[in-house]
């Protein structure tokens, strides 16, 4: 019987794929000794298309790659049959790797697991003002590209990020449960566009500490040590401080607990900020955190013009950091920190009480974020990038000395 594509009621084959007539021309020209590029030029196709056709659909019964049009058409029709079993279904090791990086437990630096809030799956997106499930939360693209570094010689351990998304969102793909969408950064149960909002700020800093006075080396991210910082706010004036190193994307979180007496009566006039993120509390938290790093990666700090940084002169004395302030309403001037704050909202959603998290919880989230591979780092993790920067700095010092 003739192929169904030759019937009057059947749809014509898509121009994206080679037709049987084109395969006959390829077989004829190859028999006449024409090269791949010559055949591609005659057909008006890309040379890679012809090369792939000759490699995939050639006849191999005689032990050699001999191209015949009928055999090539049979191979192509067999490969086009649908549905196909998903790669995550047929390869348990690959499925385990993806699930562990997507939904694995957050672990503190000392190796102890941190469960985070208990969030039941309701079949839809968790609201932006509700607790979110804590997980390693690598993105599908991070998982896909990191596989090439972890398994450079194992071709079976390969999968595209789109295949992971389809396994999560498309019914019938199997392998990954749909409730694992809660581990994605957005937590959406459906694929929809997303929107972003702007920033805030106050103009109260002196001209000599404006961002225009910052060294030029901090703009191109070539030299590590120029940090960016901000606060993420939650319910009841709770807050968490964030410090991000733009070159390596290494993140450190500042624990800002409420002070005794918060919400317990009439507030004293001109008293301390009992919410925990006043100028003195932020200064002490930055000093306590940033001084754990070597001086080679403590060059400057860029912040917005919030009142929590009015103690910046004392901070410079205590830590040696040169503090600079962005222009009003210009969050893009510390874009790495803004992006990191968006990542952290997966663990600390808006409208939730951030003071409920302990310093150990913040350390666990920071460790999870620093262990996620980044595209901008060629799929290295921020922790690996910072370690490489520190080794390079030590080597440079030893060489010059």
Task: Give the residue-averaged pLDDT of 212-241.
Answer: 90
Residue 9: per-residue pLDDT = 47
Nearest to 286 by CA among 230, 354, 340: 230
Task: Give the residue-averaged pLDDT of 109-134.
Answer: 82
Nearest to 137 by CA among 163, 169, 167, 100: 100
As a whole-number percent, the residues of the chain with pLDDT over 90 amount to 48
Q: Residue 244: pLDDT band by 50, 70, 90 thresholds?
A: very high
Task: Please tell me the distance from the alpha carbon of residue 383 to that of residue 373, in angstroms, as a whole number.
Answer: 9
Please report how many Cα atoms fall inside a 13 Å half-sphere around the Cα of residue 238, on the Cβ side. 16
Task: Please tell me the distance from the alpha carbon of residue 199 to that of residue 189, in angstroms, as a whole number.
Answer: 27
Q: Read off φ and ψ for residue 5, nearest 5 degrees.
A: -70, -15
User: 374, 380 in Cβ contact below 8 A?
Assistant: yes
- H helix runs in 57-111, sequence order: 69-79, 87-90, 92-103
Q: What is the DSSP letter of 235?
A: G
Whether 63 has a pLDDT exceeding 90, the answer reads no
Residue 119: per-residue pLDDT = 84
Supply 104's token pair: 């694995």
Please report how many Cα atoms fall inside a 13 Å half-sphere around the Cα of residue 395, on the Cβ side. 6
Q: Is 360 helix (H, G, I), strand (E, B) or coil?
A: helix
Question: How are beta strands 226-233 and 300-303 bridged, if at all?
Answer: parallel
Nearest to 118 by CA among 96, 136, 139, 133: 133
Q: Is 221 helix (H, G, I), strand (E, B) or coil?
A: coil
Q: Residue 172: pLDDT band by 50, 70, 90 thresholds?
A: low
What is the CA angle 371-277-204, rounded to 5? 110
Task: Please tell me the distance from the alpha carbon of residue 391 to that of residue 161, in angstroms, as a whole number.
Answer: 32
pTM: 0.66
Average pLDDT, the chain: 85
């Amino acid at each position: 019987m003739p192929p169904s594509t030759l019937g009057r009621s059947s749809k014509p084959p898509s121009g994206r794929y080679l037709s049987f007539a084109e395969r006959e021309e390829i077989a004829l020209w190859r028999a006449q000794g024409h090269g791949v590029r010559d055949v591609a030029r005659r057909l008006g196709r890309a040379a890679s298309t012809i090369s792939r056709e000759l490699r995939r659909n050639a006849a191999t019964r005689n032990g050699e790659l001999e191209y015949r049009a009928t055999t090539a058409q049979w191979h192509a029709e067999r490969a086009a049959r649908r549905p196909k079993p998903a790669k995550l279904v047929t390869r348990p090791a690959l499925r385990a790797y993806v699930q562990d990086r997507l939904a694995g437990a957050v672990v503190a630096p000392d190796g102890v697991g941190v469960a985070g809030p208990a969030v039941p799956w309701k079949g839809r997106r968790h609201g932006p003002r509700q607790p979110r499930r804590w997980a390693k939360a690598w993105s599908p693209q991070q998982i896909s590209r990191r596989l090439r570094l972890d398994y450079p010689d194992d071709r079976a351990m390969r999968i595209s990020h789109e295949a992971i998304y389809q396994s999560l969102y498309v019914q019938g793909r199997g392998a990954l449960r749909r409730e694992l969408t809660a581990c994605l950064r957005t937590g959406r149960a459906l694929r929809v566009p997303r929107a972003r909002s702007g920033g805030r700020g106050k103009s109260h800093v002196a001209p000599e500490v404006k961002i225009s006075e910052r060294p030029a080396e901090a703009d191109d991210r070539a030299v590590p040590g120029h940090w960016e910082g901000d606060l993420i706010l939650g319910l009841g004036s709770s807050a968490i401080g964030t410090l991000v190193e733009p070159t390596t994307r290494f993140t450190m979180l500042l624990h800002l607990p409420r002070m005794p007496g918060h919400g317990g009566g009439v507030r004293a006039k001109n008293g301390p900020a009992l919410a925990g993120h006043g100028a003195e509390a932020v200064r002490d938290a930055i000093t306590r955190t940033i001084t754990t790093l070597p001086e080679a990666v403590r060059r400057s700090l860029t912040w917005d013009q919030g009142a929590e940084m009015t103690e910046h002169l004392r901070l410079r004395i205590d830590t040696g950091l040169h503090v600079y302030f962005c222009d009003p309403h210009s969050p893009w001037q510390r874009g790495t920190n803004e992006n990191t704050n968006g990542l952290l909202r997966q663990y600390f959603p808006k409208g939730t009480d951030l003071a409920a998290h302990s310093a150990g919880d913040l350390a666990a989230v920071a460790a999870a974020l620093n262990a996620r591979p980044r595209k901008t780092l060629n799929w290295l993790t921020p922790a690996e990038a910072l370690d490489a920067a520190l080794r390079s700095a030590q080597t440079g010092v030893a060489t010059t000395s």
